[in-house]
Amino acid sequence: MISNVIEETPLISLVGPPNSGKTTLFNLLSGKNLKTVNYPGSTVEYSTGKIIDKYGVNAVLIDSPGIVSLIPNSPDEAVSVDSLYSHPGVGSPHLIINTIDASQLSRHLLLALQLIDSGFKVIIVLTMNDILYKKQLEILQNELSDELKCDVVKIDGKSGKGIDNLIRIIDQNLNEINILGKPKPKAYKLDSNKRKLIDSYNRIEHIVNDVLQDIPQSGKINLSKANKQLKILGTHYVGKNNRPDELTLKIDRILLHKFWGLFVFVLIMGFTFTSIFWLADPLMSLVDNLFSFLAQLAAITIDDGWLASLISDGVISGLGSVLVFVPQIIILFLILGVLEDSGYLARGAMLIDKPLSKIGLNGRSFVPMLSGFACAIPAMLAARAIPNRRERLLTIFILPLMSCSARLPVYALLIAFLIPLDKPWIGGFILAGIYIFSIISSIIVASIINKFRKKIINAEDNSSFILELPTYKLPKPGSILRNTYSSTKQYILKAGPVILAFSLIIWLITYFPAGDQKIERTGLAKEQVVQLEKSQQLENSYAAHIGKVIQPIVEPLGFDWRIGVSLITAFVAREVFVSSMALIFKVTDSSDNLQSSLLDSMRSAQIESSGKKLFTPSTILGLIIFFVFALQCMSTVAVSRKETGSWRIPALQLVIFTSLAYMMTFITVNGLKLLGLG
Amino acid sequence: MKTAANLKFGEKVKINEIDISNPSHQRILEIGFTPGQEIELVNISAFNDPIALSIRGTLIAIRKKEADCIIVS
């Protein structure tokens, strides 16, 4: 679809180093109706927008991954760079817009020189001129344009000043291409990387000397400009620009400090965790209640038995289990956005790099792992920022072990069973214990997987941590909100269809072949009748048959077919376990005290063959352990497939984590029984 | 041979050479660590590694293992 558009409209690629203001410019230029295209290899999606929507220029703008140079450092980078020359989806660009942070001129000119030398038609956009201005320096735009033999435009990302000028110059360049033909760039070749890089930088230093000047003071004769024009003097201006931001250095003294740095790190992580849980909690129950209300409404208003069930239990509940996590994900992305925009995330990654490198991960694994405590899906998307393939795959591999929020309702139910009613505070300790246990286990699992990485991950790269620490600045609410919106949309689009499809399948196997059930209705409220009908359906359904078939498998864990069925339904999303248990143990109370009546039913449940109690402290703890390890989330599997590019890793995750869960549960349940805690 | 990995806090030096036997040398050159440039060790991470170097007006966090290929005078 996109390629059809390209045949008639020119393609402009937006290229630039990380932190060069590329995304801000993209948002300024592109209209609202974005499409995403896949960037090959990295499986990273990049947005395309049509400039025509906003400014009347007939061209498609495509974003690209931030790169430092055209010489790839890894196979993944090679794919990114190759697709700059010829993108398999959209072809080769007519024009390249290259963003350069004016305060980082010398470092960012390297990519510009390489692009121009390759034969691309390039427009240089200088961003963050205000930072340079604070140092009382400015770049002579025309001189830079003469030296590089391409157009140079200054843009103010905050106010959008300079955009009109840029649009005019894009128009001019496209007209030239119309007359002279599309440029045919040649791949940037290097005979001796080191020599050529040093030569490039020598050339850059001359250019910087020529174009950087003191801002003329009013009332004084501008000697420096005169000197520039006569090519006298020079290094003084470069020296002035070579001092990093003083305030940033001071803040870093604290934030990277051996004691205070770690203290603030733990504080920020703690704040993020608690916000994900406590701030999101009321919103999540709101979504949850809304969808149960809608489901009930549908069940009552639609007369037809199976259709009512399909709509209320299949579609509406399925949608509910996708959307219930949206509040958490929004909060997570808002916090991450603030941390990223302010410059803290890079410091966090730096602080944690050393310990993480011990288990084969990278400082950059830290953001995905943190996100994993909300949901593994955005976490896997966040893992794209890890440049090293092996470390990225290993990070993705262990993400399902992070205790995601879908496990919380399950833990809440199981913990409630364990603790005495009059001492609810014990529950908090047990929950904290589960989190600590899952963190420790994921560290152990990561280091074991890392030991066998050649077999499991199947990728070997040079491990590296070189990260620019950006200048601290106040976060921009606009861009944070925009990113949060697009990340949340990505989550819904990625997880939504999988969860929905799976909940329909689960509905099918839990509803059929029983169909409508005849219940003795006397003396029962409408809600209780509905609940009893559902229980009957489930008991006679395919799912129950499957549960009875797998009973021998779950029996060694102290479970029976009813728990087995609930575990199967939990593959839609883990929290579905709770509602399945409610159905299967025939809880007929209204949803207000669903948990307490479910607990009562669980307490009186017996193993059918022996008449012994089904739920004992050992089986409950066993279930908790099972949920700590098992990969019971089909959307995670689907996203893992997409992000790793094959079925290999998701299949291994599914097998390894589920068998690990089985083993650990077996050990827990039978160990506790041996100790007499049966 | 002194390298950027064994600088002291606040020590300012000039880069002499980049050792190409280190697999990260290319990226290190690309981000601006070229001979003749002045660098300063401005910070050390809480676990003693990585370190933060100031180069060309910016801060780069880099593992000691990689900073080891930046030979300084």
Sign (positive or negative) of CA dihedral A447, A348, A72, A185: positive
Measured between CA atoms, how close is B65 to chain A, in angstroms?
9
Cβ contact A310:A507 at 8 Å: yes
pLDDT > 90: percent of chain A: 22
- Count Cβ atoms below 10 Å from residue A648 Cβ, excluding itself: 15
Domain count for chain A? 1
Residue the block writes with tokens 């025309």: A142
Partner residues linked to A62 by β-bridges: A13, A48
Q: What is the pLDDT of residue A639?
A: 87
B61-65 mean pLDDT: 95
Q: What is the DSSP string of A39-95?
A: ETTTTEEEEEEETHHHHS---EEE-----S-SS-SSHHHHHHHHHHHSBTTTB--SE
Six-digit token string for A654: 């599914």
CA distances in angstroms from B4 to A249, A438, A469, listed in the order given: 18, 39, 17
Contact flag B50-A350 (C-beta cutoff 8 Å)? yes
Which of B27, B48, B71 to mutate against chain A (most A CBs within 10 Å)? B27
Contact flag A69-B49 (C-beta cutoff 8 Å)? no
Backbone angles phi, psi at B61, to 5 degrees: -85, 130
CA distances in angstroms from A118 to A6, A96, A151, A265, B1, listed in the order given: 22, 12, 16, 44, 38
A59-69 mean pLDDT: 85
A71 touching B (Cβ < 8 Å)? yes
Cβ contact A233:A210 at 8 Å: no
Contact flag A351-B26 (C-beta cutoff 8 Å)? no
| Whether the predicted pLDDT of A541 surpasses 70 | yes
CATH code, A110: 3.40.50.300
Which range has the worst mean pLDDT, A145-159, A275-289, A391-405, A519-533? A519-533
A614-627 mean pLDDT: 92
The answer to whether residue A166 sits within a structural domain is: yes
Is the full-model pTM beyond 0.90?
Answer: no
Strand, helix or coil for residue A386? coil
Q: What is the pLDDT of residue A43?
A: 47
Nearest CA to A370 out of A470, A498, A292, A274 is that of A274
Q: What is the pLDDT of residue A191?
A: 56
Contact flag B66-A465 (C-beta cutoff 8 Å)? yes
Mean pLDDT of chain A: 82
A124-128 mean pLDDT: 93
Strand, helix or coil for residue A486? helix
A42 band by pLDDT with thresholds 50, 70 and 90: very low
Instruction: Report d(CA A384, CA A371) in Å as an integer.
Output: 13
A623 Rama sector, left if φ>0, alpha if ψ -120 to 50, beta otherwise: alpha
Cα nearest neighbour of A110 on chain B: B30
A269 touching B (Cβ < 8 Å)? no
Q: Which domain holds residue A217?
A: 2-243
The answer to whether residue A167 sits within a structural domain is: yes
A259-278 mean pLDDT: 87
Residues of B in contact with A363 (CB under 8 A): 50
The answer to whether residue A82 sits within a structural domain is: yes
Instruction: Report d(CA A318, CA B10) in Å as an integer.
Output: 58
Q: What ipTM was estimated for this complex?
A: 0.96
- Strands A60-62 and B70-72, bridge-based pairing: unpaired
The answer to whether residue A179 sits within a structural domain is: yes
Six-digit token string for A136: 């009382």
The answer to whether residue A406 sits within a structural domain is: no
A110 touching B (Cβ < 8 Å)? yes
More confident residue, A374 or A440: A440
The answer to whether residue A396 sits within a structural domain is: no
Residues of B in contact with A258 (CB under 8 A): 46
Instruction: Delineate the domains of chain B, giving CATH numbers in brackets.
Output: 4-72 (2.30.30.90)
A472 touching B (Cβ < 8 Å)? no
Chain B residues 9-68 within an 8 A CB cutoff of chain A: 18, 20, 23-32, 34-35, 38, 42-50, 52, 54, 56-63, 66
Tell me: the pLDDT tens digits for A231-247?
444 445 555 667 788 89
Tell me: the pLDDT tens digits for A458-508?
666 778 899 999 889 888 888 788 878 877 887 788 778 877 887 788 788
Cα nearest neighbour of B51 on chain A: A350
The answer to whether residue A300 sits within a structural domain is: no
Residues 6+ apart with CB under 8 A from A586: A531, A532, A535, A601
Which range has the worst mean pLDDT, A136-150, A161-175, A525-539? A525-539
Residues of B in contact with A235 (CB under 8 A): none
- Strands A122-127 and A151-154, bridge-based pairing: parallel
| Whether the predicted pLDDT of A605 surpasses 80 | yes
Residues of A in contact with B62 (CB under 8 A): 465-467
More confident residue, A515 or A276: A276
What's the burial of A384, exposed, middle or buried (CB within 10 Å: 0-12/13-18/19+)?
A: middle
Candidates A106, A194, A355; nearest CB to B18: A194
- Count Cβ atoms below 10 Å from residue A342 Cβ, excluding itself: 17
CA distances in angstroms from A284 to A277, A320, A334, A406, A500, listed in the order given: 10, 10, 16, 11, 18
Q: What is the DSSP string of A614-667?
A: S--HHHHHHHHHHHHH----HHHHHHHHHHHSSSHHHHHHHHHHHHHHHHHHHH
Instruction: Report d(CA A634, CA A411) in Å as an integer.
Output: 20
Residue the block writes with tokens 């029984």: A673
Instruction: Report d(CA A184, CA A211) in Å as an integer.
Output: 29
Candidates B23, B30, B59; nearest CB to A244: B59
Residues of B in contact with A197 (CB under 8 A): 26, 29-30, 34
The answer to whether residue A102 sits within a structural domain is: yes
Measured between CA atoms, how close is A381 to chain B, in angstroms?
24
Q: Of A325-329, A521-525, A660-664, which one has max mean pLDDT? A: A660-664
Strand, helix or coil for residue A188? coil
- Our separate counts of H helices and E strands in chain B read 2, 5
